[in-house]
Amino acid sequence: MLNFNEYQKLSELIKSNPELEPIINNMSLFSLSELSIDSHDIKNYIAYLKTTFQLVRKKSPEICDNPYFNRMEKVISQLIYHMERTTLYRYSMKKTEKVSISINNIMYEIPDIIDDTLDNSCEFSFCLDDIPDILINPEQLKTLLTEAVLNACEASGCSGEITLITRKESDSILVQIVNNRIISDDNHSGNAPLDYNQLIKPFFSTKKDHVGVGLSIIHQICLSNNAKADIHEQEGKTVLSILFQL
């Protein structure tokens, strides 16, 4: 997993040595198209399992008393959730068409998206300055901001106070998602610095039944849009910052 500085150096290297681009692109064992085909097949198999399960339950309702059958239902749901999350992670690497778009307009949509996704009781407040539009793919921007706010909500147990901030800084736009609670988990005491490079590793999660791709998705979208993300503690709060270059 590249950090922002490593990505910048690699980009400069390719610009000055274009013959390296096909070599670097072939360093992966699987292309995105190959992964997409495999993922599509797996999702079809899971859909078949789910349909079969629902049919059996409808035809033989007495089988629902069997604990193994109930466990199967939970496992199928977990498989579907994992496939949806890994598919979203894969698409965060995809090259997309960019247009001029308002960050603030998307920010106002995010709480409704979160409430449709989670059983959420977080309270949202906005501190959005008058900022210029940025050049980015609208769906990628929506995914980026949704994942950022989703991460903050889940870290607060879906019951905290989340502040959404935007402001212009020199030649950049700063977006901040402020969680009034310090992140606390098995790997972070609440006092030690947050290790962003550890948190963005794909499939790294300290939460049970989570895939661990949320911050990885944010990181990938930032890299493809000349943006930089960071997570840190400030005045007793956890702050996820995203800096977009104008």
**Cα Dmax for the chain:** 68
| DSSP string of the chain, one letter each residue | ---HHHHHHHHHHHHH-GGGHHHHHTTSSS-HHHHHHHHHHHHHHHHHHHHHHHHHHHH-GGGGG-HHHHHHHHHHHHHHHHHHHHHHHHHTTS----EEE-HHHHHHHHHHHHHHHS----EEEEEE-----EEE-HHHHHHHHHHHHHHHHHHTTT-SEEEEEEEEETTEEEEEEEESS---BTTB-SSSPP-HHHHTSTT--SSTT--S-HHHHHHHHHHTTTEEEEEEEETTEEEEEEEEE-
Cβ atoms 134, 173 nearer than 8 A? yes
Q: What is the mean pLDDT of residues 183-203?
A: 54
Please report the pLDDT score of residue 210 as a whole number: 66
Winning range, highest mean pLDDT, from 55-64, 181-190, 237-246: 237-246
Cβ atoms 228, 240 nearer than 8 A? no
Please report the pLDDT score of residue 132 as a whole number: 94
Give how far the C-alpha of residue 126 lies from the chain's centroid of Cα atoms, to the nearest Å.
21
- Dihedral sign computed on CA atoms, order 80, 215, 93, 105: positive
- How many beta carbons lie within 10 A of that of residue 135, not counting itself? 13
Angle between helices 32-59 and 67-91 (to 10 degrees): 160
> Of the ranges 5-19, 23-37, 119-133, 140-154, which one carries the lowest mean pLDDT score?
23-37
The predicted model scores a pTM of: 0.65
Winning range, highest mean pLDDT, from 52-61, 138-147, 152-161: 138-147
**8-59 pLDDT tens trace:** 666 666 667 777 666 555 544 444 454 455 566 777 778 888 888 888 888 8
Among all chains, which residue has been given the structure tokens 């409704």? 112
